[in-house]
Amino acid sequence: MVVTVDQIREGGLSLDETLSESFLTHALADVKDTGFRPDGPALLRVKLQKTASGVLLRGSTEVTVHSPCRRCLSDVHLTVPVSFTLNLVSRAALTDVEDEDGGDDEQAERAGSFDLERADEELFDGKSIDLDPLVREQVLLALPMHAVCREDCKGLCGSCGKNLNEGECGCARSQVDPRLAALKNIKLN
The residue ranges that bind Zn ion (CB under 5 A) are 69, 71-72, 149, 153, 157, 159-160, 162, 169, 171
**C-alpha dist (Å) from residue 104 to 90, 119, 134, 169:** 15, 17, 27, 69
CB of 61 to Zn ion, least distance (A): 27
**137/86 Cα distance (integer angstroms):** 12
CB of 163 to Zn ion, least distance (A): 8
To the nearest whole angstrom, how small is the minimum distance from the Cβ of residue 44 to Zn ion? 30
Nearer to Zn ion, 1 or 169 (CB): 169
Taking the least distance from each CB to Zn ion, the nearer of 13 and 169 is: 169
Angle, vertex CA 10, rays to CA 12 and CA 44, nearest 5? 10
Degrees to nearest 5, angle at CA 34 with 33 and 36: 115
CA dist 82 to 9, 77, 85, 166, Å?
Answer: 25, 16, 10, 34
Q: Given the complex with Zn ion, which of 145 and 160 has the nearer CB atom?
A: 160
3-state secondary structure of 167: coil
Least separation in angstroms between residue 154's CB and Zn ion is 8
Measured from the CB atom, the residue of 135 and 149 that comes closer to Zn ion is 149
Q: Which is nearer to Zn ion, 102 or 170 (CB)?
A: 170
Nearest approach, Cβ of residue 168 and Zn ion (Å): 8
Cα distance between residue 157 and residue 143, in whole Å: 28
